[in-house]
């Protein structure tokens, strides 16, 4: 095991090359901003912009001799060969899709960092026993097609690969149709088996990511040694009433879906009250029908995003949601469906200790911390020793064009990742 | 003045022809239903369906020899000549556009009824001193482009004809562009001056319409003698916050536009409380941005539709809306804009008395009543003696595919209209 600093390797990580690649990626789906530090990205999964970004990194992989392959969910792999034939690979990466008003670092940093780490290994002449695979998972964000993490869930066998075929985006396009169109556009790329479902189990998985929270920046630290991920439950709620003329229909006889939706969300706010401010409860998506100002709404759909690191809280309050909604309604009916359910995940000491050791060996400030956001890494936990590396981001802001980390902050995380990958790939 | 029943004229009104025309119109933009009495219409203004409906009635007008013309707002006219050259016309009609999930009678009945009344006059050989113009006003509903009544407002000089050029529909199309496309499609039709703005002042205006409320049906009456229209104020509200990651951002530091919108609407519900159930307060349109379940909303737009027959209440509570919203916000900012403001309107005895006399003469059950909905007639009030005729509709339901009136109910209203038009056009 590599316990000390690997100076050649660390020096081979190029801060400038990594930053330039991130900025080149950020131009694809760019959202103009007021300053160079306030420019976001809108790159929905399986969109033309997503495919353009994937072609860009495929080009870089071909330049440095990595083997490119793609599985049936569109998960994209770049393989650096090890010295021992048949050894299980170390996998590292993240995702390339963004939120509709997303930033330039969420996800894409983890892909570019793994790519940079592998390139540095190769340039530094550091051989590894095991192969290293850089991965870009499909649809982590769930911004266009909910839920997120479809690619990693299918890879991990968490759900059959056709689970989401009927899910539609805001334009009415089904996941199945979008994926088929995407596969046709990437028909020239080598098809590989689908993860554990088709016999590919990694030796370990490591994901670098911006923190998406304020802790590292506030404490002046370089690296988060991520110990696990809080649990998430996503729900979709439909409130059904009756559409009537807004001018003639007395309020006493209406079945107004908007008013009952507001009552339901207000009641959920009470259910989700948490003086410790650890619980995360968000209603951020709503669709109203017919959505005309003078026709009473007959249908309101809204989303619930509920997260907590303690599984007991996650289960108890999550299971209470339906009853609270039903009790809040006055004249309408409601149906609730759970779209996503991930219990809190604990990362493996094999990886978390390697991250901590590398940070210490490189003289960086580090902190063991849980992740507030979910990540593809969550679904790797049952498969293999898994961990994550966080880097600071300005004001903790993410899922926003103002999301920002500096080139040195990002390079520090990648140097740790390079050392961890070298260690795990020789373990 | 024609004070008694005009038997030839009343007999010439064809219940079957009128019903068949309404059903032929209802096929354009039809919404399938479970039964013949539960089939709606989606015919947005200036849509291909709207134009198809207009071509249908233009064809009928040409068959019976009415002169067809259109003004710069797309208001469509069919003129029956009177015996005295230069006499101001009696105008009667309504609108042909529908709500997105609208019924088969709202608006279109008033156009077809006026057309049927004029055809009956001609077939019965009843000459009139004044011309009679059947009108189909553009965009009464405001379902695609808010506010409604653009055509009649422009005709009446209530607002300059280019007032709404920048208004956009849900697809981002501007009113100016939609109107230009429409005018090009109707370039073959004779262009006429724009109402009072360009020198055309009617002698009187009469509009037939379904009640859109439950009163006539509940009382077993045939005809509503409409005495006026309650006032309406429409507002558009924007709540601006900040988008953040739903998993990592503590609730205590969010600026969640959805939560502040809910607080604002809840506070408005309190402002608008009315034990007499006369006040109408409706929030029926909402748009959320970025509308992704795991990104806190940074912008919520919603509509307010507020109506009351008492101008003092309309002004006092309407003017209190902005302060109530501002007081309800916790972390976001709000802007309010008033999109539409119509004070309560009183109809003229010349018309209301003529409607009542005709109903009595024809042996029908009638009731003097205000209108809960607004109508194009509202904007004719300052121009000329104005009135409306209501017919019952099932359960008072409107702006809904289940909207329904029977062929005999509709024909009774048209017989009254025919007699009123004959009387006014000889007055």
Instruction: Name the DSSP letter for residue A314.
Output: H
CA distance A268 to A11: 52
Model pLDDT, residue A303 = 98
pLDDT greater than 50 at residue A30: yes
Q: List the CATH code of the domain at B231-342.
A: 3.30.70.360
pLDDT given for residue B278 in this prediction: 86
Average pLDDT over residues A397-424: 95
**pLDDT score, position A207:** 98
pLDDT band at A202 (very low <50, low <70, confident <90, very high): very high
Rounded CA Rg of chain A: 23
Interface touch B293/A305, C-beta < 8 Å: yes
CATH 3.40.630.10 for domain B7-230+344-425, yes or no, is yes
CATH code assigned to A7-230+345-425: 3.40.630.10
- Best CA proximity match to B50, nearest among B136, B110, B120: B136
Residue B171's pLDDT is what? 93
Query: What is the b/e burial string over B353-381, where b = at least 16 CB atoms within 10 angstroms of the residue's CB?
Result: ebbbbbbebbeeebbebbbbbbbbbbbbb
CA–CA dist B375, B382 (Å, integer) = 14
pLDDT at res. B27: 96
- Where does chain B hold its CATH 3.40.630.10 domain(s)? 7-230+344-425
> What does the DSSP assignment read for B255-281?
--HHHHHHHHHHHHHHHT--TTS--EE
Q: What pLDDT, on a 0 to 100 scale, did the predictor assign at position A5?
A: 53
Q: What are all long-range contacts of A157-161, with beta carbons under 8 Å and residues at least 24 apart?
A: A157/A195, A157/A196, A157/A197, A158/A379, A161/A72, A161/A73, A161/A194, A161/A197
Q: Which of residues 21-80 of A touch B (CB under 8 A)?
A: none
Ranges under pLDDT 50 in chain B? 1-4
**What is the model's pLDDT at position B253?**
85
Return the half-sphere exposure (C-beta side, CA atoms, 13 A cut-off) of residue B222: 20
Q: Tell me which chain A residue has its CA closest to the CA of residue B266.
A: A262
Q: Which residues of B touch A286 (CB under 8 A)?
A: 258, 286, 288, 291
Find residues 388-427 of chain A whose CB sits inside 8 Å of chain B. 396-400
Flag if B148 and A294 touch (Cβ within 8 Å). Answer: yes
Kindly state the average pLDDT of the residues A394-405: 90
Element (H, E) at A108: helix A108-124
Read off the pLDDT of residues A136-177 as tens digits, 9 standing for 90 and up.
Answer: 999 999 989 988 999 999 999 999 999 999 999 999 999 999
CB A186 within 8 A of CB A57: no
Q: Does B195 touch chain A (CB under 8 A)?
A: no
Q: What is the C-alpha separation between B117 and A193, in angstroms, rounded?
A: 74
B189 to chain A, closest Cα gap in Å = 31
pLDDT higher than 60, residue A3: no
Instruction: Report which of residues A168 and A85 the model is more confident about.
Output: A168
A170 close to B (CB below 8 A) = yes
The model's pLDDT over A253-306, given as tens digits with 9 standing for 90+, comes to 899 999 999 999 999 999 999 998 889 999 999 999 999 998 899 999 999 999
Helix axes B311-328 and B257-271, enclosed angle (nearest 10): 150
Contacts of B281 in chain A (CB under 8 A): 251
d(CA A213, CA A106): 12
Could you tell me where the DSSP H helices lie in B48-186? 48-64, 108-124, 150-155, 175-185
Does the distance separating the beta carbons of A293 and B146 come in below 8 Å?
yes
Cross-chain residue pair A141–B294, CB shorter than 8 Å: yes
Of B232, B300, B315, B298, give the one whose Cα is nearest residue B265.
B300
Say if residues A366 and A353 touch (Cβ distance below 8 Å): no
Q: Mutating which of B246, B253, B304 best tests the A interface, going by the most A Cβ atoms within 10 A?
A: B246
- Using alpha carbons, select from B108, B351, B148, B207 the residue that is nearest to residue A247: B148
Nearest to A248 among B287, B291, B396 (CB): B396
DSSP string, B246-262: TTTS-GGG---HHHHHH
Q: If DSSP codes are grouped into helix, strand and coil, which group holds residue B97?
A: coil
Across the range A310-319, mean pLDDT stands at 96
Please indicate whether, in this complex, the C-beta atoms of B284 and A295 are within 8 angstroms of each other.
yes
**Model confidence at A2, in pLDDT bands (50, 70, 90)?**
very low
- H or E segment to which residue A8 belongs: helix A7-12
- Specify the CATH architecture of the domain A233-342: 2-Layer Sandwich (3.30)
By Cβ distance, the residue of B213, B281, B399 closest to A251 is B281
What local confidence, expressed as pLDDT, does residue B33 receive? 80
Q: What is the ipTM of this complex?
A: 0.71
Size of interface A-B (CB pairs under 8 A): 229
For chain A, give me the number of helices (H) and strands (E)?
12, 16
Query: How does pLDDT run across B8-20, given as a tens digit for each residue?
Result: 999 999 999 999 9
Q: Which pLDDT tens digit goes with each residue over B227-286?
A: 999 999 999 999 999 988 898 888 998 999 999 999 999 999 999 999 988 899 999 999
Contact B76, B191 (CB under 8 A): no
pLDDT value for B5: 52
Residues of B in contact with A149 (CB under 8 A): none
Residues of chain A with CATH 3.30.70.360: 233-342
């Amino acid at each position: 095991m590599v316990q000390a600093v690997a100076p050649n390797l660390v020096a081979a990580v190029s801060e400038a090359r990594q930053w330039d690649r991130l900025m080149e990626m950020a131009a694809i789906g760019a959202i103009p901003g007021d300053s160079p530090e306030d420019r976001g990205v809108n790159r929905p999964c399986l969109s033309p912009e997503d495919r353009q970004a994937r072609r860009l990194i495929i080009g870089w992989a071909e330049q440095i001799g990595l083997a490119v392959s793609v599985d049936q969910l569109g998960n994209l792999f770049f393989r650096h060969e090890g010295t021992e034939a048949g050894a299980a690979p170390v996998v590292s990466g993240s995702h390339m899709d963004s939120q509709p008003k997303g930033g330039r670092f969420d996800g894409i940093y983890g892909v570019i960092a793994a790519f940079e780490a592998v390139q540095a290994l190769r340039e530094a002449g550091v051989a590894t026993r095991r192969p290293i695979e850089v991965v870009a998972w499909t649809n982590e964000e769930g911004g266009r097609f909910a839920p997120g993490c479809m690619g990693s869930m299918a890879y991990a066998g968490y759900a059959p690969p056709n689970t989401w075929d009927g899910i539609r985006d805001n334009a009415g396009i089904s996941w199945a149709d979008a994926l088929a169109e995407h596969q046709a556009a990437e028909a020239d790329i080598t098809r590989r088996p689908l993860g554990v479902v088709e016999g590919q189990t990694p030796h370990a998985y490591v994901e670098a990511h911006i923190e998406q929270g304020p802790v590292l920046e506030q404490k002046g630290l370089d690296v988060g040694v991520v110990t696990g991920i809080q649990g998430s439950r996503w729900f979709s709620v439909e409130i059904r009433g009756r559409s009537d003329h807004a001018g003639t229909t007395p309020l006493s006889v209406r079945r107004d879906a908007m008013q009952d939706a507001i009552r339901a969300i207000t009641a959920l706010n009470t259910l989700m009250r948490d003086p410790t401010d650890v619980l995360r409860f968000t209603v951020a998506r709503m669709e109203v029908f017919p959505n005309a100002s003078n026709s009473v709404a007959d249908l309101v759909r809204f989303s619930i995003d509920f997260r907590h690191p303690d599984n007991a809280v996650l289960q108890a309050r999550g299971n209470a949601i339906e009853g609270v909604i039903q009790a809040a309604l006055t004249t309408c009916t409601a149906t609730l469906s759970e779209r996503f359910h991930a219990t809190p995940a604990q990362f493996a000491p094999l990886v978390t200790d390697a991250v901590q050791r590398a940070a210490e060996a490189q003289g960086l400030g580090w902190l063991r911390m849980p992740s507030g956001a979910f990540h593809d890494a969550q679904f790797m936990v049952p498969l293999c020793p898994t961990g994550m590396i966080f880097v600071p981001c300005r004001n903790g802001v993410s899922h926003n064009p103002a999301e920002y980390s500096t080139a040195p902050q990002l390079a520090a995380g990648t140097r740790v990742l390079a050392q961890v990958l070298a260690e795990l790939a020789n373990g």
